[in-house]
A and B are shown apart, each in its own frame.
Chain A
Protein backbone atom coordinates (compact mmCIF):
# COMPACT_ATOMS: atom_id res chain seq x y z
CA UNK A 1 0.00 0.00 0.00
CA UNK A 2 1.31 3.41 -0.88
CA UNK A 3 2.22 5.50 2.09
CA UNK A 4 0.22 8.68 2.45
CA UNK A 5 2.48 11.70 2.38
CA UNK A 6 1.69 14.17 5.08
CA UNK A 7 0.97 17.71 4.00
CA UNK A 8 3.63 18.94 6.36
CA UNK A 9 6.34 16.93 4.69
CA UNK A 10 5.11 18.06 1.31
CA UNK A 11 5.25 21.69 2.44
CA UNK A 12 8.81 21.35 3.67
CA UNK A 13 9.83 19.72 0.38
CA UNK A 14 8.12 22.43 -1.59
CA UNK A 15 9.76 25.31 0.25
CA UNK A 16 13.20 23.70 0.11
CA UNK A 17 12.95 22.84 -3.58
CA UNK A 18 11.72 26.29 -4.53
CA UNK A 19 14.56 27.97 -2.65
CA UNK A 20 17.14 25.75 -4.34
CA UNK A 21 15.48 26.21 -7.74
CA UNK A 22 15.43 29.98 -7.40
CA UNK A 23 19.07 30.11 -6.30
CA UNK A 24 20.11 28.10 -9.35
CA UNK A 25 17.94 30.17 -11.65
CA UNK A 26 18.95 33.45 -10.05
CA UNK A 27 21.81 34.41 -12.43
CA UNK A 28 19.41 34.15 -15.37
CA UNK A 29 16.69 36.05 -13.53
CA UNK A 30 19.18 38.74 -12.51
CA UNK A 31 20.38 39.10 -16.11
CA UNK A 32 16.82 39.50 -17.37
CA UNK A 33 16.00 42.06 -14.66
CA UNK A 34 19.20 44.03 -15.26
CA UNK A 35 18.46 44.26 -18.96
CA UNK A 36 15.48 46.50 -18.11
CA UNK A 37 17.47 48.87 -15.89
CA UNK A 38 19.39 51.98 -16.81
CA UNK A 39 23.18 51.61 -16.65
CA UNK A 40 23.25 53.67 -13.45
CA UNK A 41 20.65 51.47 -11.78
CA UNK A 42 22.44 48.34 -12.96
CA UNK A 43 25.41 49.14 -10.74
CA UNK A 44 23.63 51.00 -7.96
CA UNK A 45 24.65 50.17 -4.43
CA UNK A 46 22.80 48.54 -2.79
CA UNK A 47 21.47 46.67 -5.83
CA UNK A 48 17.82 47.17 -6.76
CA UNK A 49 15.75 44.10 -7.52
CA UNK A 50 12.31 45.05 -8.77
CA UNK A 51 11.69 48.65 -7.84
CA UNK A 52 13.45 50.53 -10.57
CA UNK A 53 12.31 52.45 -13.62
CA UNK A 54 11.79 49.71 -16.19
CA UNK A 55 13.15 50.65 -19.57
CA UNK A 56 13.54 49.02 -22.97
CA UNK A 57 16.29 51.42 -23.95
CA UNK A 58 19.11 48.82 -23.72
CA UNK A 59 17.53 46.57 -26.28
CA UNK A 60 17.40 49.43 -28.76
CA UNK A 61 21.01 50.41 -28.06
CA UNK A 62 22.31 46.86 -28.50
CA UNK A 63 20.63 46.50 -31.87
CA UNK A 64 21.74 49.95 -33.01
CA UNK A 65 25.39 49.69 -31.97
CA UNK A 66 26.16 46.15 -32.88
CA UNK A 67 23.66 45.19 -35.50
CA UNK A 68 22.35 42.42 -33.27
CA UNK A 69 20.00 41.09 -35.92
CA UNK A 70 22.93 40.07 -38.12
CA UNK A 71 24.43 37.89 -35.37
CA UNK A 72 21.03 36.46 -34.58
CA UNK A 73 20.53 35.60 -38.23
CA UNK A 74 23.97 33.94 -38.38
CA UNK A 75 23.05 31.85 -35.33
CA UNK A 76 19.75 30.84 -36.88
CA UNK A 77 21.41 29.85 -40.17
CA UNK A 78 24.28 27.98 -38.53
CA UNK A 79 22.21 26.14 -35.94
CA UNK A 80 19.24 25.55 -38.23
CA UNK A 81 21.25 24.65 -41.33
CA UNK A 82 23.62 22.29 -39.57
CA UNK A 83 20.82 20.51 -37.72
CA UNK A 84 18.64 20.13 -40.79
CA UNK A 85 21.43 18.80 -43.00
CA UNK A 86 22.60 16.54 -40.18
CA UNK A 87 19.14 15.02 -39.78
CA UNK A 88 18.77 14.53 -43.54
CA UNK A 89 22.05 12.60 -43.62
CA UNK A 90 21.36 10.73 -40.38
CA UNK A 91 17.79 9.52 -40.98
CA UNK A 92 18.67 6.92 -43.66
CA UNK A 93 21.69 5.77 -41.65
CA UNK A 94 19.76 5.41 -38.40
CA UNK A 95 16.85 3.80 -40.23
CA UNK A 96 19.02 1.11 -41.77
CA UNK A 97 20.86 0.44 -38.52
CA UNK A 98 17.60 0.11 -36.60
CA UNK A 99 15.72 -2.05 -39.11
CA UNK A 100 18.37 -3.90 -41.09
CA UNK A 101 21.01 -4.43 -38.42
CA UNK A 102 24.08 -6.42 -39.31
CA UNK A 103 26.89 -7.81 -37.20
CA UNK A 104 28.77 -4.59 -37.59
CA UNK A 105 25.97 -2.16 -36.65
CA UNK A 106 27.02 -1.95 -33.04
CA UNK A 107 30.64 -1.29 -33.98
CA UNK A 108 29.66 1.43 -36.43
CA UNK A 109 27.48 3.13 -33.83
CA UNK A 110 30.22 3.05 -31.23
CA UNK A 111 32.78 4.25 -33.72
CA UNK A 112 30.53 7.21 -34.65
CA UNK A 113 30.27 8.04 -30.98
CA UNK A 114 34.05 7.92 -30.67
CA UNK A 115 34.44 10.65 -33.30
CA UNK A 116 32.44 12.86 -30.94
CA UNK A 117 35.06 12.28 -28.26
CA UNK A 118 37.85 13.71 -30.36
CA UNK A 119 38.95 16.89 -28.56
CA UNK A 120 38.31 19.83 -30.87
CA UNK A 121 41.56 21.53 -29.94
CA UNK A 122 43.49 18.50 -31.20
CA UNK A 123 42.35 19.15 -34.75
CA UNK A 124 42.05 22.94 -34.52
CA UNK A 125 44.92 23.78 -36.83
CA UNK A 126 44.12 21.31 -39.62
CA UNK A 127 40.56 22.57 -39.75
CA UNK A 128 41.74 26.17 -39.59
CA UNK A 129 44.19 25.54 -42.43
CA UNK A 130 41.58 23.77 -44.57
CA UNK A 131 39.19 26.63 -43.96
CA UNK A 132 41.78 29.14 -45.21
CA UNK A 133 42.62 27.06 -48.28
CA UNK A 134 38.98 26.49 -49.16
CA UNK A 135 37.99 30.09 -48.45
CA UNK A 136 35.62 28.95 -45.71
CA UNK A 137 37.04 31.01 -42.86
CA UNK A 138 34.43 33.37 -41.45
CA UNK A 139 31.67 32.01 -43.66
CA UNK A 140 28.36 30.59 -42.57
CA UNK A 141 28.78 27.69 -44.99
CA UNK A 142 31.98 26.61 -43.25
CA UNK A 143 30.39 26.71 -39.82
CA UNK A 144 27.27 24.89 -40.96
CA UNK A 145 29.54 22.06 -42.16
CA UNK A 146 31.67 21.87 -39.01
CA UNK A 147 28.79 22.16 -36.55
CA UNK A 148 26.84 19.59 -38.56
CA UNK A 149 29.77 17.16 -38.39
CA UNK A 150 30.34 17.54 -34.65
CA UNK A 151 26.67 16.90 -33.94
CA UNK A 152 26.13 14.16 -36.53
CA UNK A 153 27.04 11.31 -34.14
CA UNK A 154 24.49 12.54 -31.57
CA UNK A 155 21.87 12.93 -34.27
CA UNK A 156 22.43 9.38 -35.57
CA UNK A 157 22.35 8.00 -32.04
CA UNK A 158 19.20 9.79 -31.01
CA UNK A 159 17.37 8.77 -34.17
CA UNK A 160 18.61 5.21 -33.77
CA UNK A 161 17.25 4.92 -30.22
CA UNK A 162 13.90 6.32 -31.36
CA UNK A 163 13.67 4.14 -34.46
CA UNK A 164 14.51 1.04 -32.48
CA UNK A 165 11.34 1.53 -30.47
CA UNK A 166 9.17 1.30 -33.58
CA UNK A 167 7.71 -2.22 -33.68
CA UNK A 168 9.21 -4.22 -36.56
CA UNK A 169 6.06 -6.31 -36.87
CA UNK A 170 4.25 -3.41 -38.44
CA UNK A 171 6.96 -3.09 -41.08
CA UNK A 172 6.79 -6.79 -41.82
CA UNK A 173 3.03 -6.64 -42.10
CA UNK A 174 3.40 -3.82 -44.59
CA UNK A 175 5.95 -5.87 -46.52
CA UNK A 176 3.59 -8.85 -46.60
CA UNK A 177 0.93 -6.60 -48.03
CA UNK A 178 3.32 -5.87 -50.85
CA UNK A 179 4.49 -2.41 -49.82
CA UNK A 180 7.64 -1.30 -51.61
CA UNK A 181 10.57 0.12 -49.71
CA UNK A 182 9.47 3.59 -50.67
CA UNK A 183 5.89 3.04 -49.55
CA UNK A 184 7.13 1.42 -46.39
CA UNK A 185 9.14 4.50 -45.53
CA UNK A 186 6.55 7.06 -46.60
CA UNK A 187 3.34 5.59 -45.22
CA UNK A 188 4.36 3.31 -42.39
CA UNK A 189 7.59 4.52 -40.94
CA UNK A 190 7.38 8.27 -41.32
CA UNK A 191 4.26 8.85 -39.21
CA UNK A 192 5.77 6.81 -36.39
CA UNK A 193 9.18 8.40 -36.71
CA UNK A 194 8.12 12.04 -36.76
CA UNK A 195 8.06 12.60 -32.97
CA UNK A 196 11.58 11.19 -32.61
CA UNK A 197 12.87 13.25 -35.50
CA UNK A 198 11.29 16.38 -34.05
CA UNK A 199 12.95 15.79 -30.66
CA UNK A 200 16.26 15.19 -32.37
CA UNK A 201 15.95 18.42 -34.35
CA UNK A 202 15.08 20.33 -31.23
CA UNK A 203 17.92 19.13 -29.02
CA UNK A 204 20.53 19.41 -31.72
CA UNK A 205 19.39 22.89 -32.64
CA UNK A 206 20.04 23.85 -29.03
CA UNK A 207 23.46 22.20 -28.99
CA UNK A 208 24.41 23.89 -32.26
CA UNK A 209 23.16 27.26 -31.06
CA UNK A 210 25.37 27.08 -27.98
CA UNK A 211 28.47 25.66 -29.69
CA UNK A 212 31.31 27.90 -28.59
CA UNK A 213 34.62 26.47 -29.72
CA UNK A 214 34.46 26.44 -33.49
CA UNK A 215 32.17 29.45 -33.68
CA UNK A 216 34.71 31.47 -31.68
CA UNK A 217 37.78 30.25 -33.55
CA UNK A 218 36.54 30.16 -37.14
CA UNK A 219 34.66 33.45 -37.37
CA UNK A 220 35.70 37.08 -37.34
CA UNK A 221 33.05 39.59 -38.29
CA UNK A 222 30.93 38.36 -41.16
CA UNK A 223 29.71 34.96 -40.03
CA UNK A 224 29.94 35.42 -36.26
CA UNK A 225 26.91 34.01 -34.44
CA UNK A 226 25.62 35.12 -31.04
CA UNK A 227 28.23 33.15 -29.09
CA UNK A 228 30.98 35.25 -30.68
CA UNK A 229 28.92 38.44 -30.45
CA UNK A 230 28.55 38.00 -26.70
CA UNK A 231 32.25 37.21 -26.35
CA UNK A 232 33.01 40.66 -27.81
CA UNK A 233 31.61 42.08 -24.57
CA UNK A 234 34.52 40.62 -22.64
CA UNK A 235 36.54 43.81 -23.12
CA UNK A 236 34.05 46.41 -21.94
CA UNK A 237 34.15 50.16 -22.36
CA UNK A 238 32.46 52.26 -19.70
CA UNK A 239 29.13 51.32 -18.22
CA UNK A 240 27.78 48.21 -19.90
CA UNK A 241 26.06 45.88 -17.42
CA UNK A 242 22.57 46.70 -18.63
CA UNK A 243 23.56 46.41 -22.28
CA UNK A 244 25.41 43.15 -21.66
CA UNK A 245 22.27 41.88 -19.94
CA UNK A 246 20.04 42.91 -22.80
CA UNK A 247 22.31 41.26 -25.35
CA UNK A 248 22.55 38.12 -23.19
CA UNK A 249 18.82 37.93 -22.65
CA UNK A 250 18.20 38.14 -26.38
CA UNK A 251 20.81 35.45 -27.03
CA UNK A 252 19.43 32.93 -24.54
CA UNK A 253 15.67 33.62 -24.57
CA UNK A 254 14.79 31.58 -27.68
CA UNK A 255 16.86 28.63 -26.47
CA UNK A 256 15.46 28.72 -22.94
CA UNK A 257 12.00 28.39 -24.41
CA UNK A 258 12.99 25.60 -26.79
CA UNK A 259 14.95 23.94 -24.01
CA UNK A 260 11.91 23.64 -21.77
CA UNK A 261 10.22 21.62 -24.48
CA UNK A 262 13.21 19.34 -24.90
CA UNK A 263 14.02 18.51 -21.28
CA UNK A 264 12.80 14.92 -21.62
CA UNK A 265 14.86 14.26 -24.74
CA UNK A 266 17.91 15.82 -23.15
CA UNK A 267 18.69 12.77 -21.05
CA UNK A 268 18.31 10.32 -23.89
CA UNK A 269 20.19 12.46 -26.37
CA UNK A 270 23.17 13.23 -24.21
CA UNK A 271 23.66 9.82 -22.68
CA UNK A 272 23.39 8.07 -26.05
CA UNK A 273 20.49 6.00 -24.84
CA UNK A 274 22.38 4.70 -21.81
CA UNK A 275 19.93 6.38 -19.44
CA UNK A 276 16.28 6.60 -20.34
Chain B
Protein backbone atom coordinates (compact mmCIF):
# COMPACT_ATOMS: atom_id res chain seq x y z
CA UNK B 1 0.00 0.00 0.00
CA UNK B 2 2.01 2.92 1.27
CA UNK B 3 5.19 3.19 -0.72
CA UNK B 4 8.64 3.72 0.67
CA UNK B 5 8.45 7.20 -0.80
CA UNK B 6 5.25 8.16 0.98
CA UNK B 7 6.56 6.66 4.21
CA UNK B 8 9.60 8.89 4.31
CA UNK B 9 7.43 11.85 3.31
CA UNK B 10 5.15 10.99 6.20
CA UNK B 11 8.07 10.89 8.59
CA UNK B 12 9.22 14.28 7.36
CA UNK B 13 5.76 15.74 7.87
CA UNK B 14 5.62 14.45 11.40
CA UNK B 15 9.09 15.67 12.29
CA UNK B 16 8.41 19.30 13.29
CA UNK B 17 5.64 18.40 15.74
CA UNK B 18 7.57 15.47 17.18
CA UNK B 19 10.84 17.36 17.56
CA UNK B 20 9.17 20.38 19.15
CA UNK B 21 7.25 18.30 21.66
CA UNK B 22 10.27 16.18 22.40
CA UNK B 23 12.30 19.29 23.17
CA UNK B 24 9.44 20.83 25.14
CA UNK B 25 9.21 17.71 27.25
CA UNK B 26 12.82 16.65 27.67
CA UNK B 27 14.72 19.90 28.16
CA UNK B 28 12.69 21.33 31.07
CA UNK B 29 12.27 17.87 32.55
CA UNK B 30 16.02 17.26 32.57
CA UNK B 31 16.59 20.69 34.07
CA UNK B 32 14.04 20.08 36.82
CA UNK B 33 15.67 16.74 37.58
CA UNK B 34 19.10 18.38 37.62
CA UNK B 35 18.00 21.21 39.93
CA UNK B 36 16.22 18.80 42.24
CA UNK B 37 19.57 17.27 43.22
CA UNK B 38 21.25 20.60 43.82
CA UNK B 39 21.13 23.30 46.45
CA UNK B 40 20.10 26.18 44.26
CA UNK B 41 19.03 29.55 45.69
CA UNK B 42 19.19 32.13 42.86
CA UNK B 43 18.96 35.11 45.24
CA UNK B 44 21.04 33.69 48.08
CA UNK B 45 24.30 32.32 46.74
CA UNK B 46 23.13 30.72 43.51
CA UNK B 47 23.97 27.12 42.72
CA UNK B 48 25.77 25.61 45.70
CA UNK B 49 26.36 22.16 44.36
CA UNK B 50 25.11 18.61 44.53
CA UNK B 51 23.16 17.57 47.61
CA UNK B 52 21.93 14.12 46.69
CA UNK B 53 18.38 13.35 47.75
CA UNK B 54 18.41 16.09 50.37
CA UNK B 55 15.75 18.20 48.59
CA UNK B 56 13.45 15.22 48.15
CA UNK B 57 13.67 14.36 51.83
CA UNK B 58 13.28 17.97 52.93
CA UNK B 59 10.28 18.57 50.68
CA UNK B 60 8.44 15.56 52.09
CA UNK B 61 9.38 16.19 55.70
CA UNK B 62 8.55 19.91 55.65
CA UNK B 63 5.52 20.79 57.74
CA UNK B 64 3.75 22.17 54.68
CA UNK B 65 3.91 18.97 52.63
CA UNK B 66 1.26 16.66 54.07
CA UNK B 67 -1.30 19.44 54.58
CA UNK B 68 -0.79 20.40 50.93
CA UNK B 69 -1.33 16.80 49.80
CA UNK B 70 -4.46 16.66 51.90
CA UNK B 71 -5.71 19.96 50.47
CA UNK B 72 -5.03 18.74 46.94
CA UNK B 73 -6.93 15.51 47.54
CA UNK B 74 -9.87 17.31 49.15
CA UNK B 75 -10.14 19.76 46.26
CA UNK B 76 -9.77 17.12 43.54
CA UNK B 77 -12.08 14.68 45.33
CA UNK B 78 -14.67 17.33 46.19
CA UNK B 79 -14.82 18.74 42.69
CA UNK B 80 -14.99 15.26 41.14
CA UNK B 81 -17.82 14.23 43.44
CA UNK B 82 -19.86 17.37 42.78
CA UNK B 83 -19.30 17.51 39.03
CA UNK B 84 -19.96 13.82 38.44
CA UNK B 85 -23.08 13.53 40.58
CA UNK B 86 -24.59 16.78 39.32
CA UNK B 87 -23.27 16.08 35.82
CA UNK B 88 -25.10 12.73 35.59
CA UNK B 89 -28.33 14.25 36.88
CA UNK B 90 -28.03 17.22 34.54
CA UNK B 91 -27.21 15.02 31.55
CA UNK B 92 -30.31 12.92 32.21
CA UNK B 93 -32.43 16.05 32.59
CA UNK B 94 -31.06 17.65 29.40
CA UNK B 95 -31.66 14.43 27.49
CA UNK B 96 -35.42 14.66 28.17
CA UNK B 97 -37.71 16.24 25.62
CA UNK B 98 -38.37 19.89 26.44
CA UNK B 99 -38.89 23.31 24.98
CA UNK B 100 -35.81 25.44 24.38
CA UNK B 101 -33.33 22.60 24.86
CA UNK B 102 -30.68 24.38 22.79
CA UNK B 103 -30.83 27.49 24.92
CA UNK B 104 -30.65 25.56 28.19
CA UNK B 105 -27.64 23.67 26.87
CA UNK B 106 -25.89 26.95 26.13
CA UNK B 107 -26.69 28.29 29.59
CA UNK B 108 -25.26 25.17 31.21
CA UNK B 109 -22.09 25.08 29.12
CA UNK B 110 -21.26 28.78 29.42
CA UNK B 111 -19.15 28.64 32.64
CA UNK B 112 -16.59 26.46 30.88
CA UNK B 113 -15.69 29.37 28.61
CA UNK B 114 -15.11 31.86 31.41
CA UNK B 115 -11.41 32.37 32.02
CA UNK B 116 -10.28 31.08 35.44
CA UNK B 117 -9.21 34.47 36.75
CA UNK B 118 -12.58 36.00 35.90
CA UNK B 119 -14.63 33.26 37.49
CA UNK B 120 -12.48 33.27 40.62
CA UNK B 121 -12.71 37.04 41.03
CA UNK B 122 -16.42 37.22 40.28
CA UNK B 123 -17.18 34.54 42.86
CA UNK B 124 -14.76 36.03 45.37
CA UNK B 125 -16.15 39.55 45.22
CA UNK B 126 -19.68 39.56 43.95
CA UNK B 127 -20.85 36.39 45.68
CA UNK B 128 -18.54 35.62 48.59
CA UNK B 129 -17.65 39.10 49.80
CA UNK B 130 -18.74 39.11 53.47
CA UNK B 131 -20.14 42.67 53.27
CA UNK B 132 -21.38 43.31 49.74
CA UNK B 133 -21.54 39.84 48.21
CA UNK B 134 -24.84 38.32 47.12
CA UNK B 135 -24.45 35.48 49.62
CA UNK B 136 -24.06 38.02 52.42
CA UNK B 137 -27.29 39.74 51.32
CA UNK B 138 -29.01 36.37 51.17
CA UNK B 139 -27.81 35.35 54.62
CA UNK B 140 -28.86 38.69 56.09
CA UNK B 141 -32.27 38.40 54.47
CA UNK B 142 -32.79 35.25 56.52
CA UNK B 143 -31.43 36.94 59.62
CA UNK B 144 -28.20 34.94 59.64
CA UNK B 145 -24.70 36.23 60.17
CA UNK B 146 -22.88 36.43 56.77
CA UNK B 147 -20.07 33.91 56.34
CA UNK B 148 -16.54 35.08 55.60
CA UNK B 149 -16.35 32.49 52.83
CA UNK B 150 -12.74 32.63 51.72
CA UNK B 151 -11.24 32.45 55.18
CA UNK B 152 -13.82 30.54 57.26
CA UNK B 153 -14.93 28.11 54.56
CA UNK B 154 -11.96 28.53 52.26
CA UNK B 155 -11.68 24.99 50.91
CA UNK B 156 -15.40 24.71 50.34
CA UNK B 157 -15.35 28.05 48.50
CA UNK B 158 -12.54 26.96 46.19
CA UNK B 159 -14.30 23.65 45.53
CA UNK B 160 -17.49 25.55 44.71
CA UNK B 161 -15.73 27.87 42.26
CA UNK B 162 -13.81 25.09 40.51
CA UNK B 163 -16.88 22.83 40.39
CA UNK B 164 -18.84 25.61 38.72
CA UNK B 165 -16.16 25.79 36.05
CA UNK B 166 -15.97 22.03 35.43
CA UNK B 167 -19.61 21.02 35.76
CA UNK B 168 -20.28 21.98 32.11
CA UNK B 169 -17.45 19.74 30.92
CA UNK B 170 -18.72 16.72 32.87
CA UNK B 171 -22.32 17.40 31.82
CA UNK B 172 -21.45 17.77 28.16
CA UNK B 173 -19.48 14.53 27.99
CA UNK B 174 -22.04 12.56 29.98
CA UNK B 175 -24.83 14.00 27.83
CA UNK B 176 -23.00 12.90 24.69
CA UNK B 177 -22.67 9.43 26.16
CA UNK B 178 -26.31 9.26 27.27
CA UNK B 179 -27.51 10.22 23.82
CA UNK B 180 -25.87 7.09 22.44
CA UNK B 181 -27.92 4.95 24.82
CA UNK B 182 -30.35 2.68 23.02
CA UNK B 183 -33.76 4.04 23.99
CA UNK B 184 -35.50 0.77 23.09
CA UNK B 185 -33.70 -0.97 25.89
CA UNK B 186 -34.99 1.60 28.37
CA UNK B 187 -38.51 1.36 26.98
CA UNK B 188 -38.47 -2.40 27.20
CA UNK B 189 -37.39 -2.17 30.82
CA UNK B 190 -40.15 0.32 31.49
CA UNK B 191 -42.76 -1.95 29.90
CA UNK B 192 -41.54 -4.81 32.05
CA UNK B 193 -42.33 -2.61 35.01
CA UNK B 194 -38.81 -1.76 36.14
CA UNK B 195 -39.01 1.29 38.43
CA UNK B 196 -37.14 4.50 37.52
CA UNK B 197 -34.41 3.90 40.06
CA UNK B 198 -33.50 0.40 38.92
CA UNK B 199 -33.62 1.47 35.27
CA UNK B 200 -31.06 4.11 36.25
CA UNK B 201 -28.85 1.73 38.23
CA UNK B 202 -28.95 -1.24 35.87
CA UNK B 203 -29.10 0.41 32.44
CA UNK B 204 -28.06 4.08 32.50
CA UNK B 205 -25.16 3.92 34.96
CA UNK B 206 -23.40 0.92 33.37
CA UNK B 207 -23.73 2.59 29.99
CA UNK B 208 -22.17 5.76 31.41
CA UNK B 209 -19.33 4.03 33.25
CA UNK B 210 -16.79 4.56 30.48
CA UNK B 211 -17.67 8.23 30.06
CA UNK B 212 -17.54 8.71 33.84
CA UNK B 213 -14.09 7.14 33.94
CA UNK B 214 -12.88 9.47 31.22
CA UNK B 215 -14.33 12.51 32.97
CA UNK B 216 -12.63 11.47 36.22
CA UNK B 217 -9.24 11.00 34.59
CA UNK B 218 -9.24 14.13 32.46
CA UNK B 219 -10.57 16.33 35.23
CA UNK B 220 -8.08 14.88 37.71
CA UNK B 221 -5.20 15.86 35.47
CA UNK B 222 -6.49 19.42 35.16
CA UNK B 223 -7.58 19.67 38.80
CA UNK B 224 -4.19 18.58 40.12
CA UNK B 225 -2.78 21.74 38.61
CA UNK B 226 -5.51 24.21 39.60
CA UNK B 227 -3.65 27.48 40.04
CA UNK B 228 -5.32 30.73 39.02
CA UNK B 229 -8.39 30.12 41.20
CA UNK B 230 -6.17 29.96 44.31
CA UNK B 231 -3.79 32.66 43.12
CA UNK B 232 -6.48 35.35 42.94
CA UNK B 233 -8.68 34.29 45.85
CA UNK B 234 -6.69 33.19 48.88
CA UNK B 235 -3.13 33.19 47.59
CA UNK B 236 -2.65 29.81 49.28
CA UNK B 237 -3.70 31.07 52.72
CA UNK B 238 -6.39 29.59 54.99
CA UNK B 239 -5.52 25.99 54.23
CA UNK B 240 -5.89 26.23 50.48
CA UNK B 241 -2.25 25.58 49.62
CA UNK B 242 -2.28 22.67 47.19
CA UNK B 243 0.79 20.74 46.11
CA UNK B 244 0.91 22.81 42.91
CA UNK B 245 0.70 26.03 44.87
CA UNK B 246 3.31 24.91 47.38
CA UNK B 247 5.79 24.17 44.58
CA UNK B 248 4.99 27.51 42.96
CA UNK B 249 5.73 29.27 46.24
CA UNK B 250 8.99 27.41 46.77
CA UNK B 251 10.22 28.12 43.26
CA UNK B 252 9.07 31.65 42.49
CA UNK B 253 8.20 33.24 45.84
CA UNK B 254 10.97 31.95 48.09
CA UNK B 255 13.29 31.22 45.16
CA UNK B 256 14.38 27.85 46.53
CA UNK B 257 14.75 26.17 43.17
CA UNK B 258 16.29 22.92 44.39
CA UNK B 259 13.52 22.28 46.88
CA UNK B 260 10.79 23.38 44.47
CA UNK B 261 12.19 21.17 41.72
CA UNK B 262 12.12 18.15 44.01
CA UNK B 263 8.46 19.00 44.62
CA UNK B 264 8.01 19.29 40.88
CA UNK B 265 9.36 15.79 40.41
CA UNK B 266 6.81 14.48 42.92
CA UNK B 267 4.04 16.33 41.07
CA UNK B 268 5.19 14.85 37.76
CA UNK B 269 5.19 11.33 39.20
CA UNK B 270 1.71 11.86 40.67
CA UNK B 271 0.33 13.16 37.37
CA UNK B 272 1.92 10.27 35.49
CA UNK B 273 0.16 7.70 37.64
CA UNK B 274 -3.20 9.24 36.71
CA UNK B 275 -2.15 9.72 33.10
CA UNK B 276 -1.17 6.06 32.72
CA UNK B 277 -4.76 5.00 33.38
CA UNK B 278 -6.14 7.59 30.98
CA UNK B 279 -3.74 6.60 28.22
CA UNK B 280 -4.79 2.98 28.49
CA UNK B 281 -8.43 3.90 27.85
CA UNK B 282 -7.62 6.31 25.04
CA UNK B 283 -5.22 3.77 23.51
CA UNK B 284 -7.86 1.05 23.51
CA UNK B 285 -10.18 3.39 21.70
CA UNK B 286 -7.58 3.95 18.96
CA UNK B 287 -7.66 0.27 18.03
CA UNK B 288 -11.41 0.25 17.64
Contacts and interface: CB of A to CB of B under 8 A. Distances in A.
Given A213-B227, A274-B214, A248 B122 contact: yes
A152 B228 contact: no
Interface stretch (A58-66, A134-142, A190-198, A253-261): A253-261
B271 to A, nearest CB: 5
Interface string A15-41: 011101110110110110010000000
Interface of A: 3, 5, 9-10, 13-14, 16-18, 20-22, 24-25, 27-28, 30-31, 34, 42-43, 45-47, 89-90, 92-93, 95-97, 99-100, 102, 106, 108-110, 112-115, 117-130, 149, 152-153, 156, 181, 206, 209-210, 212-213, 216-217, 226-228, 230-231, 233-234, 236, 240-241, 244-245, 248, 251-252, 255-256, 258-260, 263, 266-267, 270-276
Contact of A230 (B118, B176, B257): B118
Contact of A17 (B104, B114, B286): B104
B21 A259 contact: no
Contacts of A231: 117, 121, 228, 231-232
Given A21-B107, A119-B224, A47 B122 contact: no
Contacts of A9: 96-97
B100 A14 contact: yes
Contacts of A248: 118, 121-122
A123 B98 contact: no
B94 interface: yes
Interface in B115-143: 115-119, 121-127, 132, 134, 137, 140-141
Interface of B: 2, 6-7, 9-11, 13-14, 16-18, 20-21, 24-25, 27-29, 31-32, 35, 90, 93-94, 96-101, 103-119, 121-127, 132, 134, 137, 140-141, 164, 167-169, 172-173, 176-177, 187, 211, 214, 218, 221, 224-225, 227-228, 231-233, 244, 247-248, 251-252, 257, 260-261, 264-265, 267-268, 270-272, 274-275, 278-279, 281-283, 285-287
A233 B121 contact: yes
A87 to B, nearest CB: 11
A125 to B, nearest CB: 5
Contacts of B96: 9-10, 13, 17
Nearest to A25: B107
A241 B125 contact: yes
A110 B110 CA distance: 30
A213 B228 contact: yes
A18 B252 contact: no
Given A10-B97, A119-B268, A244-B121, A24 B113 contact: no
B115 A275 contact: no
6 contacts: A13-B96, A110-B279, A128-B251, A130-B28, A216-B117, A234-B231
A264 B21 CA distance: 27
Nearest to B287: A106
B285 A274 contact: yes
B278 to A, nearest CB: 8
B93 A20 contact: yes
Contacts of A27: 111, 119, 122-123, 126-127, 164
Given A16-B93, A24-B168, 8 more contacts: A14-B98, A27-B126, A90-B17, A95-B13, A112-B17, A153-B21, A217-B252, A270-B173
B126 A245 contact: yes
Nearest to B245: A121
B110 A13 contact: no
Given A119-B224, A127-B28, A47 B117 contact: no
Given A210-B115, A267-B176, A13 B32 contact: no
Contacts of B218: 270-271
B137 A45 contact: yes
Contact of B267 (A16, A119, A245): A119
A259 B99 CA distance: 22
B247 A156 contact: no
Nearest to B233: A234
Given A28-B114, A213-B228, A251-B115, A100 B6 contact: yes
A5 B101 CA distance: 15
B221 A117 contact: yes
A229 B101 CA distance: 35
Contacts of A5: 97
A189 B235 CA distance: 50
A80 B35 CA distance: 34
Contacts of A251: 115, 118
B21 A152 contact: yes
B29 A124 contact: no
Contacts of A125: 31-32, 35, 251-252, 257, 260-261, 264
